[in-house]
A = this chain, B = another copy of it.
Amino acid sequence: MNFSSMSADRMQYLRDNAIRDILSAAARPGMISLAGGVPAPESFPMDVLGLLFDQALSAFGPRALQYDRTEGFAPLCQALSAHLAHCGVHAPPSGVIITSGAQGALDALGKTLITPGDTVAVESPTYLGALQAFSPYRPRFEELPMDDQGLDPEALDALLRARRVKFIYLCPTFQNPTGRTLSLERRKRVAQIIQSRGVLLIEDDPYRDLRYSGEPVHTIHSMAPDHVAYVGTLSKVFAPAFRIGYCVAPGPVQRWLVKAKQGVDLCSGTLGQALAALYIADGHLDRHLPHIVALYRARLHAMLEALQQHMPRGSQWSRPQGGMFVWVRGPAGFDAAAAYAEALKSNVAYVPGRYFFANTPQPETMRLNFTAHDPETVARGVQVLAGIIKTRVDRRHAPAHEDIHKPLLHRI
């Protein structure tokens, strides 16, 4: 059969997932992987799982094994409604939609909002998974510049003045990939802008609860609930295996999401939702969270210390107060993709920053994850990586060497 002409036109707009190959190389035994973005296995509440399982079956019986509402398992919507109120996201249980991972919310938002050719504004850099969720629906991406305080609200305002934007996608707290947090001041300005310009904002907030220092910052949703679709997940504070994301959105958007979800998966996994409902409602989440925070805090500290100690002059990096990532910019002329093969040979993996840009990659950047290894291993990984960067940058200043290595530099 001739498959060459068979795929849908939209397939050419799907982002190639080069990062999957990177992650699979990073999973090799003996590798210090700073590449992943997954929770540490030690963060899972293994000790309460058996209890939750028994309780779920006794509380809900066969209902925990059956199809359930597309909107989400009612006891979980209830538990999340109460939990989110503490974070300043106010919604009745009927206002919380459960999705199959936060990814499921992003796909459904893309599907229900994007007509091909619509403009979607994203941070530069932004979350790769959001680009993958939106791309098949064929938007045009506009990139919003960022600094250490997050995106520049005036650039957003200028964009909205210049052209019609379907929605803005932000990850304002401990952003993936930069770890940066949008300041309170800027959030207020962003809220004001989207209200005055009448535009929808998707606030993707997967790392909210993973704060290791500083004070919580109000969500943009709390400042402009009628203009924000707020997306969260239990993957980082419970377990990814249950694929539980959620979305609190203005009424019409919520109804569109449910309609789209019906065609995509009918409903999310019921047993997982039942376990999650009990995990939250019975206080396990509140009791367990400090353990996760303490675990990751030490790892972030180790990474920042090691960066300070080993990175060559001319490097810069973010100093996150939470989340899972540090964003590193190598010295001028460094190419993180070109250096990748050499790093792998030295048993250190990371993700070159280029994958996180909608339009214009910055080749000298990279994303480092600090949650996968103990502090000593994280520090050793950074030291090895810093050594590679240093050698490569030094080489650039010795022209004879550079010529020799050029083919290698461009192999990836």
Q: Write the residues of chain A forming the contact surface with B, with a CB cutoff of 8 angstroms.
A: 1-3, 6-11, 14-15, 17, 20, 38-39, 41-42, 44, 46, 49-50, 53-54, 57, 61-68, 70, 100-101, 103-104, 107, 111-116, 118, 129, 132-133, 135-137, 166, 198-200, 226-227, 235, 239-243, 250, 252-253, 256, 259-260, 262-272
A62 partner residues in chain B, CB cutoff 8 A: 41-42, 44, 46
Closest to A1 in B: B198
User: Told that A6-B253, A68-B241 touch, could you supply 6 new A-B pairs with CB distance under 8 A?
Assistant: A46-B65, A50-B54, A66-B239, A67-B235, A107-B265, A243-B268
A93 to chain B, nearest CB (A): 17
A260 → chain B, closest Cβ, in Å?
7
Q: When chains A and B are docked, how far (Å) is the Cα of A241 from the Cα of B112?
A: 25
The CA of A358 and the CA of B117, in the complex, are separated in Å by 29
Residues of B within 8 A of A268 (CB): 243
Q: Is A132's CB under 8 angstroms from B39's CB? A: no
> Are the C-beta atoms of B115 and A9 separated by less than 8 Å?
yes
Q: From known contacts A6-B113, A241-B269, A241-B270, infer whether A264 and B262 are also in contact, taking CB-CB under 8 Å.
A: no
> How many chain copies?
2
Q: Is the interface of A mostly helix, strand, loop or mixed?
A: helix
The residue from B9, B53, B239 contacting A53, defined by CB atoms under 8 A apart: B53
Given contacts A2-B198, A271-B241, contact A8 B266 (CB under 8 A): no
Minimum distance in angstroms from A288 CB to a CB of chain B: 13
A136-B111, A263-B107 are contacts. A66–B53 as well, Cβ < 8 Å? no
Cα–Cα, bound, A66→B46 (Å): 12
- The residues of B that contact A263 with a CB separation of less than 8 Å are 14-15, 103, 107, 129, 132-133, 135-136
